[in-house]
């Protein structure tokens, strides 16, 4: 069996300001630093063989924090990036809602009809996340991998694994910063074991 833990990055300045990030980036805020430490504490007692991260700074920072107790180097993988949001990146959600109401509505409420303006669609992200999972399936039996990624990237993979349509992309619960999702792979078959577990944040307060 291969175990894959997918974790969302820690909270950033733009998260708190409700700005869309996508492939763009902002620094972890004070809350994010605490969240990263909580995730590292939670994973410190688990044997992890490899840590892979989206190359985006907020994810890579979270990955490096988690890697410290394991003395592991973090491997970057572009397939773990967040959805490319095109011209929306860096914009306040309130501004997008005013300037581009139909597309904004589809992004959150009708994802099957969302069409990116200069970025990616959900199907684009799903394809690269499935490619990432396929590469993990080819790894040695018994390994445990931690991958740091982003909300949409994690969700597209999870709806694929559970057979949900893209219309159910935003199913509950919310993926809190540093929340963990566990996938187990046996005989080439991947199964979603847990989704968006953020219990380490409660115990770290």
**What positions carry a catalytic annotation?**
9, 150
Q: What is 60-128 written as a DSSP string?
A: HHHHHHHHGGGT-PEEE-GGGPPPP-GGGTT-BHHHHHHHSHHHHHHHHH-GGG---SSS--HHHHHHH
b/e code 3-16 from CB counts within 10 Å (16+ = b): bbbbbbbbbbbbbe
Burial 66-83 (b: 16+ CB within 10 A, else e): bbeebebebeebebbbbb
Sign of CA dihedral 178, 54, 15, 104: negative
What are the tokens at 186? 């046996």
CA distance 63 to 194: 20
């Amino acid at each position: 069996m291969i175990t894959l833990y997918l974790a969302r990055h820690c909270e950033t300045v733009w998260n708190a300001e409700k700005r869309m990030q996508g492939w763009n980036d902002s620094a972890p805020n004070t809350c994010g630093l605490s969240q990263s430490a909580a995730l590292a504490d939670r994973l410190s007692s688990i044997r992890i063989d490899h840590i892979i991260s989206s190359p985006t700074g907020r994810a890579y920072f979270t990955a490096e924090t988690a890697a410290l107790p394991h003395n592991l180097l973090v491997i970057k993988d572009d397939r773990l990036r967040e959805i490319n949001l095109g011209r929306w990146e860096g914009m306040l959600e309130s501004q997008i809602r005013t300037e581009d109401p139909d597309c904004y509505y589809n992004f959150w409420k009708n994802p099957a009809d969302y069409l990116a303006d200069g970025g990616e669609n959900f199907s684009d992200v799903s394809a690269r996340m499935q490619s990432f999972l396929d590469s993990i399936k080819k790894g040695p039996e018994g390994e445990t991998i931690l991958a740091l990624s982003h909300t949409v990237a994690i969700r597209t993979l999870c709806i694929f694994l559970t057979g949900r349509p893209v219309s159910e992309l935003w199913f509950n619960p919310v993926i809190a910063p540093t929340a963990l999702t566990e996938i187990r792979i046996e005989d080439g078959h991947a199964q979603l074991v847990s989704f968006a577990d953020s219990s380490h944040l409660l115990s770290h307060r």
